[in-house]
Structure 1
Amino acid sequence: MTVSDQTLSTAGTEVADGIVLTDVAASKVRSLLEQEGRTDLQLRVAVQPGGCSGLRYQLFFDERALDGDIVKKFGGVGVVVDRMSAPYLTGAVIDFTDTIEKQGFTIDNPNAQNSCACGDSFH
């Protein structure tokens, strides 16, 4: 497992190994972890086969450490990406939106050539 606290902060985001977690998203993750009362969990971001376009994002809290994981800190929140998902997530911006129309985490991924109409998967 690779662990690093080294990040570059620019314009309200922190950048590490090509993945960006906005301050708003880090704050939401921190808030959810506090609600759960779990300080041992990290946010795992993964890409898995599935959906209409072939690949689907998965975001979930995880306490596991897998061989080859990339672990970074964003605003005090641990974000874990497995070695198979990392190439698909290079340059991806993870944000949190809370509006009347939409609430939830969003991923703006420059590696996604196409996405399905529902926005749940990409190719």
Structure 2
Amino acid sequence: MAEVVEITEAASFQVKEMMRHNEEEGSFLRVAVKGGGCSGLTYGMGFEQIQSEKDDLYEQFGIPILIAKDDAPILQGTVVDYKQSLMGGGFTIENPNAIASCGCGTSFRTAKKAGTPENC
């Protein structure tokens, strides 16, 4: 099964560090989409202990990744990276399906799914 989301090597290194630091070894990394934000949809990333029957499981760089089957079309082709700068570091998400985003950089919408916009 082809990966829906690509995790770069830099992002995988950071995820593994976070897993070790937060004692989350053996957990899954969930990449998700939820309603909200200025443009209607927002990204979510976090650790989970249990895979649901509604999830697809992928593995990259030794990291088990969960993506809900409903989120897969929205996330198809998305790249998660980690960038370091003088101001610190953070994850970046490049989604080819996003047709609009807001100034905060965390909210977006796609041609097929607008989500539920909130005031920023």
Q: Would you call these one fold, judging by a TM-score over 0.5?
A: yes
Q: Report the TM-score when normalising by structure 2.
A: 0.84
After superposition, the CA RMSD in angstroms is: 1.4
> Which ranges of 4 or more aligned residues in structure 1 deviate by more than 4 Å?
none
Between the aligned partners of 1:85 and 1:113, the Cα distance in structure 2 is 16
Distance 1:93 1:19 in 2: 6
Q: What is the identity percentage for the equivalent residue pairs of Structure 1 and Structure 2?
A: 36
User: Which stretches in structure 1 are left out of the alignment for 5+ residues?
Assistant: 5-15
Q: Which has the higher contact order (CA 8 A, sep 6+)?
A: 2
Question: For residue 108 of structure 1, what is the aligned residue in structure 2?
Answer: 94
Instruction: Give the Å deviation of 1:68.
Output: 2.5
Stretches of structure 2 lacking an aligned partner (at least 5 in a row): 110-120
Matched to 1:22, the amino acid is T
User: Counterpart in 2 of 1:22?
Assistant: 8
- The residue type paired with residue 91 of structure 1 is G
Provide the rounded CA distance (Å) in 2 between the counterparts of 1:31 and 1:17: 22
- Using the size of structure 1 for normalisation, the TM-score is 0.82
Distance 1:18 1:70 in 2: 9
Q: Aligned pair count?
A: 109
- 1:28, CA displacement in angstroms? 0.7
